[in-house]
């Protein structure tokens, strides 16, 4: 089955700096890679995703890159703000037309944005 590794487990940055979180996956059939933000006591919130036919996707201060050959993908947050502090999870799945599939999650990165 799929295995997703995520690094680092904790990350502390100063407000305004950039944060980068990296994930690797093992199953070459995986073609959908979402990122979730989880605040304390809440459910995971989808913040951005990328499919394997795209190498990069950006949404305001958040961007995700995908390297299919190396089987890794990364989340980039620019101009970090205190409200970005949370636990971030990457995930991988294999999605085909008309079907859906479970997500395999990484172990999470606790991001702390300091003033």
Dig out the tokens for 32 from the structure: 């959908």
Binding mask 36-75 toward other proteins (x if CB under 8 A, else -) reads x-----xxxxx--x--------------------------
Cβ within 8 Å of residue 12, ≥6 positions away: 111, 112, 113, 114
How far CA 76 is from CA of 45, 59, 97, in Å, comes to 16, 10, 29
By beta-carbon proximity to other proteins, the closer residue of 50 and 77 is 50
Q: Determine the size of the site formed for other proteins (CB under 8 A).
A: 24
Minimum distance from residue 67 beta carbon to other proteins (Å): 21
H-type helices in the chain, by residue range? Answer: none
Binding site for other proteins (CB under 8 A): 6, 34, 36, 42-46, 49, 89, 95-108
């Amino acid at each position: 089955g799929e295995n997703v590794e995520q690094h680092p487990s904790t990350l502390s940055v100063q407000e305004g700096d950039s944060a980068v979180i990296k994930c690797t996956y093992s199953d070459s059939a995986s073609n959908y890679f979402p990122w979730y933000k989880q605040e304390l006591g809440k459910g995971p919130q989808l913040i951005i995703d990328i499919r394997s036919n795209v190498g990069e996707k950006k949404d305001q201060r958040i961007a995700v890159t995908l390297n299919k050959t190396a089987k890794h993908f990364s989340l980039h947050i620019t101009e970090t703000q205190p409200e970005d502090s949370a636990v971030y999870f990457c995930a991988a799945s294999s999605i085909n037309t008309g079907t859906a599939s479970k997500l395999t999650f990484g172990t999470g990165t606790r991001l702390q944005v300091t003033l």
